[in-house]
């Protein structure tokens, strides 16, 4: 376990002990069905899911990271579950940040997610190098999805439209460590950073 992973694991354990009946992070959220229209990234990234056009029904969960009262700023999250490889799925997690070369790596607590961009915060290992993803709100129910390397400008590859129908259990858990999109692999250091906290979260939900 890395030092950063130990810190995140310890923090998750503390939060879980404080509210054992709820998810340690993002305890309250709303899950809805959504339509994802992929136009394809240009120039291509080498990741088929980003580069190829397509349309599919997906699940989206919106939540506040710490679950603070609405009067206080919090980090907002958007979790996206996409179908891959038949019955399998991949989970992508976005959190409110900036979009600049440095800001895309910095969490941004806010009073409202409206107009506030979100990124995956940590890069993925793509076939041609590091890949970051972003979700930029264009309306309350519509987001532009974009990709970039660590410092290059963002380029849109898809539109995400939330539907009125509610999805399944609002406590549905998304796991970007176990459930990856083909071509968007976790770097070893990212896995070492994230995995301990997710192990704690799974145990608190009695999934292991």
pLDDT at 72: 86
pLDDT < 50 positions in the chain:
1-22, 24, 26, 202, 205, 207-208
Three-state DSSP class for residue 50: helix
pLDDT at 112: 85
Distances (CA, A) of 116 to 19, 27, 83: 28, 21, 26
Crossing angle of helices 3-18 and 188-204, rounded to 10° = 20
Point out which residues pair with 136 in neighbouring strands: 144
Token pair listed for 185? 């692999």
> CA nearest 131: which of 202, 182, 179?
182
Nearest-angstrom CA–CA distance, 177 and 191: 7
pLDDT at 27: 62
Distances (CA, A) of 94 to 2, 72, 73, 146, 174: 23, 20, 17, 12, 11
Nearest-angstrom CA–CA distance, 143 and 39: 14
pLDDT at 130: 97
Distances (CA, A) of 110 to 54, 97, 148: 33, 9, 24
Distances (CA, A) of 83 to 55, 91, 127: 11, 9, 20
pLDDT at 170: 67
Entry pTM:
0.81
């Amino acid at each position: 376990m890395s030092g950063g992973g130990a810190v995140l694991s310890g923090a998750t354990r503390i939060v879980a002990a404080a509210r054992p009946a709820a998810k340690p992070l993002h305890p309250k959220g709303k899950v809805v069905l959504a339509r994802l229209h992929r136009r394809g990234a240009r120039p291509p990234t080498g990741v088929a899911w980003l580069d190829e056009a397509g349309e599919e029904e997906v699940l989206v969960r919106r939540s506040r990271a710490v679950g603070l009262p609405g009067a206080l700023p919090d980090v907002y999250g958007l979790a996206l579950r996409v179908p891959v490889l038949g019955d399998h799925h991949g989970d992508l997690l976005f959190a409110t940040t900036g979009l600049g070369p440095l800001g895309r790596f910095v969490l941004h607590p806010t009073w409202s997610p409206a107009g506030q961009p979100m990124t995956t915060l940590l890069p993925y290992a793509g076939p041609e190098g590091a890949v970051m993803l972003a979700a930029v709100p264009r309306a309350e129910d519509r987001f532009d999805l974009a990709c970039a390397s660590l410092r290059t400008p963002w380029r849109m590859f898809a539109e995400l439209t939330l539907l009125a129908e509610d999805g399944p259990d609002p406590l549905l858990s998304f796991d970007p460590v176990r459930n990856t999109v083909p071509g968007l692999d976790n770097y070893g250091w990212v896995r070492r950073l994230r995995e301990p906290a997710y192990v704690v979260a799974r145990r608190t939900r009695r999934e292991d």
